[in-house]
Structure 1
Amino acid sequence: MFQGSSDRPVNTDDLKKLKYLECVIKEALRLFPSVPFFARTICEDCHIKGFKIPKGANAIIVTYALHRDPRYFPEPEEFRPERFLPENSVGRPPYAYIPFSAGLRNCIGQRFALMEEKVVLSSILRKFTIQSLQTREELQPIGELILRPEKGILIKLERRETS
């Protein structure tokens, strides 16, 4: 992941180079968004596919389903981080992928959250290999305030050989 066998902490320059790890994180958030749905109040009358939605109505945005739209994510159940490489994201509407909500009420900490995930994952991956001990089907996600696996996630960490 990083050149050499340094034990130094990851720095900002390292994080900028971890493009594929960022794609992995985004794909994981596509399949399992931390917040699987959120609500918004409609601010003005609008029409969606021939239906009038009145001002004041509540709309529920189900990111878990939105992120599985095959128009924007072919074979949506497949884990494919390459979807988020710049050349593969061209033409995708900005609201097709909203793991941190969108618009005026989006998560103000989303950049920090992505950076934090890259720091933690890169630090772990420098020292360990990770193996899942469950299939995706065994995770049984539960959509409450946050999306979480019903019984947690079992993994195996194995220390990497140091050179």
Structure 2
Amino acid sequence: MAAGYETTATALAYATYVLAKHPDVLKKLQDEIDQLPIDSDDNISDEKIKEHPEYNVVTHLSYMDMFILEVLRMYPIGNSGLQRCAMEDTVVQGINIEKGTSVHADFYSIHYDRELWGPDDPYIFLPERHKIKRHPMAFMAFGAGPRNCIGMRFALIEMKMLLTRLLREYTILPGEHLESNFNIHEELFVVPEAIWIKLVKRET
């Protein structure tokens, strides 16, 4: 239960932090959301989309997809959650790993690697970098391989639906203590201390 709820809630908190700091990204997201395609065969009214965005609607949001991936690249939540045990002696890039050795992957060293995420500075928030096909192990927010996060698709659709509803109605601005209270702590999950933002009702 904790893995399913806390991680998604934390990812959404990071998303609001990013949007408060990057009004240009916020504007692009709102523009995309405002132009959501409506399937006339399903008789989906604009009001219904505003209140309850459906799966087949939010899957059209390509910039939203890139935005969420970039949030999770820069702010991975389960950094301590990816561990593997060597089942036999092996060599990885000249490094000997003995059978029984527990290996821990550091998401930050992968997600901020300039060779994996260049040519743009990986310390800059840039959703468009996800237009480029990367190494399959360059993005590890949900782990990788047969033991990756089983709730990945559910978490992503939750984030898309909430952000779609929120950003259709509100604009996110920095709160008074946005930076001073952000303070990231790494325990079971990597979480911010607090996200101070302002929600301003959009004009219709």
> 3-state SS of the aligned residue for 1:108?
coil
Of 101, 114, 117, the residue aligned with 1:73 is 117
- For this pair of structures, how many residues does the alignment match? 156
Q: Which structure has more helix as a fraction of its residues? A: 2
Q: Which residue of 2 aligns with 1:120?
A: 162
Q: Which residue of 2 aligns with 1:7?
A: 47
Segments of structure 2 that go 5 or more residues without pairing to the other structure are 1-32, 37-44
Segments of structure 1 that go 5 or more residues without pairing to the other structure are none
Task: State the 1:145 CA deviation.
Answer: 1.2
Which residues of 2 match residues 13-162 of structure 1 at below 5 A? Answer: 13-37=56-80, 38-74=82-118, 75-85=121-131, 88-89=132-133, 92-133=134-175, 134-135=178-179, 139-149=182-192, 151-162=193-204
What are the Cα deviations for residues 1-23 of structure 1, in whole angstroms up to 9, with x where unaligned? 23489331212221121110111
TM-score, with length taken from structure 2: 0.71
Distance 1:76 1:95 in 2: 16
Distance 1:97 1:19 in 2: 18
Q: Which structure has more strand as a fraction of its residues? A: 1
Q: CA RMSD in A?
A: 1.8
